[in-house]
């Protein structure tokens, strides 16, 4: 079993922290909007992130797709329903969109995070 680099663990922890903040913000917005159907989406996203942290490539690509979809939907919703949404929902949606963008870029570009994923895949196959 190979040793993991500390920078790879730090990258994983950064991703995990951003994801927890995103889930808390998402759950808060769901509570404010009283959109009970969104709870299933949040749970699905948490399950996918679990597999991302296990180093599964399909999960990483699915999570990147979910983040991309969330960005488009939230920005479109804010533009289309601006007059019908409260200021809190608009601001929360824009913050959530920005955080999803940061997570997407981080997952796609972090060499340390990719090192962590490779390490997880090697340890999983052994």
How far apart are alpha carbons 94 and 64 in whole angstroms?
Answer: 18
Residue 58 CB-density burial (10 A; 0-12 exposed, 13-18 middle, 19+ buried): exposed
Contact 71, 101 (CB under 8 A): yes
For the stretch 21-51, pLDDT in tens is: 999 999 998 888 888 888 888 999 999 999 9
Q: What is the pTM of this model?
A: 0.87
By residue count, the chain amounts to 126
Q: Hey, what's the torsion of the CAs at 65, 103, 82, 24, to 10 degrees?
A: 110
pLDDT in tens, the chain (126 residues): 467 889 999 999 999 999 999 999 999 988 888 888 888 889 999 999 999 999 999 999 999 999 999 999 999 999 999 898 889 989 999 999 999 999 999 999 999 999 999 998 888 665
95 Cβ neighbours under 8 A, 6+ residues apart: 25
């Amino acid at each position: 079993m190979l040793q993991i680099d500390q920078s790879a663990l730090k990258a994983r922890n950064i991703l995990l922290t951003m994801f927890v903040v995103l889930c808390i913000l998402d759950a808060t917005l769901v509570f404010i909007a009283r959109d009970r159907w969104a709870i299933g989406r949040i749970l699905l996203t948490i399950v996918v992130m679990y597999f991302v942290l296990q180093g599964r490539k399909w999960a990483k690509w699915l999570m990147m797709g979910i983040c991309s979809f969330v960005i488009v939907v939230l920005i479109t919703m804010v533009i289309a329903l601006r007059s019908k949404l409260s200021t809190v929902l608009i601001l929360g949606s824009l913050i959530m969109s920005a955080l999803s963008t940061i997570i997407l870029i981080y997952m796609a570009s972090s060499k340390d995070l990719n090192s962590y994923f490779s390490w997880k895949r090697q340890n999983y196959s052994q």
